[in-house]
Amino acid sequence: MIAIKNERELALMRKACKITAAARALAGEMVRPGVSTKQIDKAVHDFIVSQGAQPSFLGYHGFPGSICASVNSTVIHGIPGGYVLKEGDIVSIDVGAYYQGFHGDCAATYACGAISAEAQKLIDVTKQSFFEGMRFATRGHRVSDISHAIQTYVESNGFSVVRSFVGHGVGAQLHEEPEVPNFGKPGRGPRLVPGMTIAVEPMVNAGVYDVRVLKDGWTTVTADGKLSAHYENTVLITDGEPEILTVTEGL
């Protein structure tokens, strides 16, 4: 069942999402040569806790970090650790915060110093594909209208969208119904109604869309070893334009 949030619940979600977005921004500012992913993880953990919230990911199905730190060919679920960032890396940071019963969830890919033109294009296309999807995140459209817009834009730029992992509803649970794929034909899936909160998260590969999960059970990498980027926000469906909840203003 898709949870439709009331105004009290949305007020708490807005707070959770602002904390989450600020944590993402903090992580992005730390992406530079010489910094380890574990250092970023600790800073984000401490910030979220300082805001009266809890890291959504820490301990989730046993995940050991407060962020997912996915570098270069790692698509998602990279475990923060001793890896030290170097010039030319691209780093996807995914973060969630749980505040008074509700989760926020967002992600972005950041350049570590100077990066290749292809890597920058991949980051830019991934982010813009989210906003292409937002054109259809309005009352009366269906979930797959968002999906189709994302896929069309990504593929028109020569990249591919991951099929094995998708976006999702978010609220009292980190992952709720409905699933929000980044691919597919339009006009399918649940109809969007005000009060729905969804995490729309294009995961875009420079090469093939196939991925594989490493032996740790989490780290997901591109099958061909090429770069991947990720961009995500928690979004509220309204009577008008969609409201992106994972923004930092007013924290």
Please list the pLDDT of the chain residue by residue as tens digits (251 residues): 999 999 999 999 999 999 999 999 999 999 999 999 999 999 999 999 999 999 999 999 999 999 999 999 999 999 999 999 999 999 999 999 999 999 999 999 999 999 999 999 999 999 999 999 999 999 999 999 999 999 999 999 999 999 999 999 999 999 999 999 999 999 999 999 999 999 999 999 999 999 999 999 999 999 999 999 999 999 999 999 999 999 876 54
In this structure, is residue 121 part of a structural domain? Answer: yes
Q: Which domain holds residue 73?
A: 7-244
* Closest to 129 (Cα-Cα) out of 226, 236, 199, 231: 231
pTM of the predicted model as reported, rounded to 2 decimal places: 0.97
**Residue 82 per-residue DSSP state:** S
In this structure, is residue 88 part of a structural domain? Answer: yes
Domain containing residue 240: CATH number = 3.90.230.10
Please give the pLDDT value at position 178.
Answer: 98
Query: What is the SS3 assignment for 104-134?
Result: EEEEEEEECCCCCHHHHHHHHHHHHHHHHHH
Please give the pLDDT value at position 40.
Answer: 98
d(CA 47, CA 226): 32
In this structure, is residue 251 part of a structural domain? Answer: no
d(CA 178, CA 176): 6
Q: How many structural domains compose the chain?
A: 1
In this structure, is residue 250 part of a structural domain? Answer: no
Please give the pLDDT value at position 249.
Answer: 60
Taking the C-alpha atoms of 10, 204, 78 and 109 in order, what is their torsion angle to the nearest 10 degrees? -70
